[in-house]
Every structure is written in structure tokens, then in C-alpha cells.
């Protein structure tokens, strides 16, 4: 009987020791992390794979939209979080990029494996080789000062990559008329872009008869514009300035109500197609990684003369006009 009791106690002690050992091991093991809420919008294939391997086991507290661009042997990283915060940095290689992005998105900094005490070495056991050091990377904050390549400022991702933009804007002319326009970039290289510009404007503009040049009229005009333009964009972390020129054709319609010398009310209508040029500039702000807001003026110039059959004279339109636009931009 005593022997049976000793066997039972020994078995129970063994079970308890094993349960405690399993619990300690489970407590020491790091919890599996949820996949990181990081969207890699643009990156070279090899760099993307390396960054995704870094993020596979990270615990994330920040959602990021990340773009990675190769430039002169280094990697330029541009990231915007879900609150609109901007992070930027240049790193030497893909491993450094993965480490940096992991640190940006981690909820409590970059996670490292839990260290486990190694057994006391004995002469019969070989020593474990030292781990390969991970490349060191400086952490970047939302107010990171932009670095430079050979003294040249790195403009933002738009000027470094090949993204095209669609711009929609509406505004007012200097005579309180309505103006609207759309621009779509068809070619982009660095900060330069070639765009197709279309627009419509309705306003009352000044005009005079070519015979006297003294009588001033204010007819109503409707202008439909189609142009090809070239712009350049200068960028900072959130702000940009865009300036450009364009040229094309404008289809204009005129409507004029006036009283002739005999006291009769007369309506004159005419239309024509003429060449038009434009110079524009805008200041913009990056709202998210894909949306921007802009505001700025555009000055158009075109020589137009409308022949009035009832007056039997030509009405000369003022050769220039100004409109101020407010618009939004979307990366394509």
C-alpha cells in the first residue's frame, strides 16, 4: 500500500512539473503579431519583398501608405499615416528600408525577439556564432528635414516617381463670371509634366468697335478651351507650387444686347475659333497620399474680333482675361 502511494505521488509531481514548464515556455514566447496595416503603393519588386518580410511579424499601431523610389543608388521612402502625418527618409538598402518602416508602424517601437538565456557551455558543445548585425537607421519624425543628394534637394514622391495627376477646378473670372477646367497629365519626368487642359468660361468682358475705339460694350461670352500645357512642380513635405504655360484653341460665342442710334433694341450674336495662350500658377497642399488641394490664378490671352452684321462693324474683344481657380487633384 505504501509503495502504491509513493508511485501515485511521484506521478502527480511529474505532471505538475511538466505543466509548469509548458506554462513558462508559453509565457516566454512572443505573441504572434497581426499583419501590419501597411499599403506599399509603389516600390521595386525586390525591395517590396524585403519590406514585407520585415512587416510579417510586426505588431502595428499605425496604418501607412508607403512609396519607395530608387534614386542614385539609394532608396527614398515617403509615407503618410492615417492621420495625414508625413514621414520621409533615404536609406542605403532594402534591409534598412524594412527596418525603418517597421519602426514607423510599430505601436511601441521596433520589436525585437525575446532573449532566452543560453545553457552553460561545456567542452563538448560548440559556441553559437554571433548574430549578424542589422544595419543601423536613424529614426525619422513627422518633421524630418529633407536630405540632399550632392547638394540637390529631393523633391517629393511626385517629382521622383512617374505618377500622373488629374486636376478638377472651378473659379471666377475678373468680371464675376464662372470658369471651370480639367487637366490630366499624359507625360511626367521628374518635376515636369505635359498635360491636356480643357475648360469653359462664361463672363461679360469689355469690347470696343474698331472704327471709333471709343464706344465700350460689355457683351456676354462663352468660351470652350482645349490646350496642351507644360508644368513644373516644386515640392516640400506637404506643400507644393506648380507653374506652367499652355497653348491651344478657343471656341467663343458672343451675345450683345444694345440700343442703336434710332432707339431700337438690337441683339447681336457671333462666334469664332481663335488661338489662345495661358500662363498659370497654383499653391497646393497634400491632404492624403493620393489627394491634394490647389488654389491659384490663370491668365489667358487671345485676339478676337467679332463682325456685327447690324452694325456693319467689327467688335474687338479685350485680348486678355484673368480667372482664379480652386481645385482638387487625384493621383492616377
Q: How far apart are CA 20 and CA 115, in angstroms?
A: 20
Has residue 281 got a pLDDT over 70?
Answer: yes
Residue indicated by cell numbers 528635414: 145
Would strands 38-42 and 64-71 be described as parallel, antiparallel, or unpaired? parallel
Bigger pLDDT: 156 or 310? 310
Has residue 148 got a pLDDT over 70?
Answer: no
Has residue 14 got a pLDDT over 50?
Answer: yes
Q: How far apart are CA 185 and CA 331, in angstroms?
A: 10
Has residue 268 got a pLDDT over 90?
Answer: no
pLDDT for 144 equals: 36
290-308 pLDDT, tens digit each: 899 999 999 999 998 888 7
Has residue 251 got a pLDDT over 80?
Answer: yes
Average pLDDT, integer, range 137-157: 38
Nearest Cα residue to 167 out of 282, 79, 301, 78: 282
Run of H or E including 90: strand 86-91
Q: How far apart are CA 330 and CA 217, in angstroms?
A: 41
Under 8 Å between Cβ of 246 and 278: yes
pLDDT band of residue 231 (cuts 50, 70, 90) is: very high
Q: How far apart are CA 208 and CA 95, in angstroms?
A: 70
Average pLDDT, integer, range 19-28: 48
Q: How far apart are CA 175 and CA 304, in angstroms?
A: 18
pLDDT for 257 equals: 78
- As a residue count, the chain comes to 332
pLDDT band of residue 135 (cuts 50, 70, 90) is: very low
Q: How far apart are CA 18 and CA 120, in angstroms?
A: 22
- The CATH 2.40.160.20 domain(s) of the chain lie at 161-331
Is CATH 3.40.50.920 the classification given to domain 161-331? no
Residue 68 grid cell: 519607395
pLDDT for 36 equals: 67
Is the pTM value of this prediction over 0.85?
Answer: no
Region of 190 (left: φ > 0; alpha: ψ -120 to 50; beta: rest) is left
Bigger pLDDT: 6 or 255? 255
CA 113: distance to chain centroid?
Answer: 36
Has residue 318 got a pLDDT over 80?
Answer: yes
Average pLDDT, integer, range 80-88: 85
Bigger pLDDT: 32 or 283? 283
Average pLDDT, integer, range 170-174: 90
Amino acid at each position: 500500500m505504501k509503495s502504491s502511494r509513493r508511485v501515485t505521488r511521484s506521478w502527480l509531481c511529474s505532471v505538475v512539473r511538466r505543466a509548469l514548464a509548458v506554462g513558462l515556455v508559453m509565457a516566454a514566447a512572443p505573441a504572434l503579431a497581426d499583419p501590419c496595416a501597411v499599403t506599399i503603393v509603389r516600390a521595386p519588386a525586390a525591395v517590396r519583398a524585403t519590406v514585407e518580410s520585415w512587416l510579417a511579424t510586426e505588431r502595428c499601431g499605425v496604418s501607412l501608405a508607403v512609396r519607395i523610389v530608387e534614386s542614385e543608388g539609394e532608396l527614398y521612402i515617403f509615407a503618410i499615416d492615417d492621420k495625414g502625418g508625413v514621414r520621409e527618409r533615404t536609406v542605403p538598402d532594402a534591409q534598412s528600408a524594412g527596418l525603418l518602416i517597421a519602426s514607423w508602424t510599430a505601436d511601441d517601437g521596433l520589436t525585437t525577439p525575446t532573449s532566452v538565456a543560453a545553457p552553460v557551455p561545456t567542452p563538448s558543445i560548440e559556441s553559437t556564432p554571433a548574430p549578424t548585425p542589422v544595419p543601423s537607421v536613424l529614426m525619422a519624425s513627422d518633421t524630418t528635414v529633407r536630405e540632399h543628394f550632392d547638394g540637390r534637394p529631393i523633391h517629393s514622391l511626385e517629382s521622383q516617381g512617374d505618377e500622373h495627376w488629374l486636376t478638377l477646378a472651378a473659379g471666377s473670372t475678373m468680371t464675376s463670371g464662372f470658369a471651370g477646367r480639367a487637366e490630366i497629365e499624359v507625360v511626367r519626368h521628374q518635376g515636369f509634366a505635359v498635360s491636356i487642359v480643357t475648360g469653359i468660361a462664361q463672363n461679360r468682358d469689355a469690347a470696343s468697335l474698331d472704327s471709333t475705339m471709343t464706344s465700350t460694350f460689355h457683351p456676354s461670352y462663352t468660351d470652350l478651351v482645349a490646350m496642351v500645357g507644360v508644368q513644373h512642380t516644386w515640392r516640400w513635405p506637404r506643400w507644393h507650387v506648380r507653374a506652367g504655360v499652355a497653348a491651344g484653341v478657343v471656341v467663343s460665342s458672343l451675345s450683345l444686347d444694345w440700343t442703336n442710334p434710332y432707339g431700337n433694341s438690337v441683339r447681336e450674336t457671333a462666334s469664332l475659333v481663335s488661338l489662345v495662350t495661358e500662363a498659370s500658377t497654383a499653391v497646393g497642399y497634400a491632404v492624403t497620399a493620393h489627394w491634394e488641394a490647389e488654389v491659384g490664378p490663370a491668365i489667358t490671352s487671345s485676339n478676337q474680333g467679332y463682325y456685327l452684321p447690324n452694325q456693319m462693324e467689327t467688335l474687338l474683344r479685350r485680348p486678355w482675361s484673368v480667372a482664379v481657380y480652386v481645385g482638387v487633384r487625384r493621383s492616377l
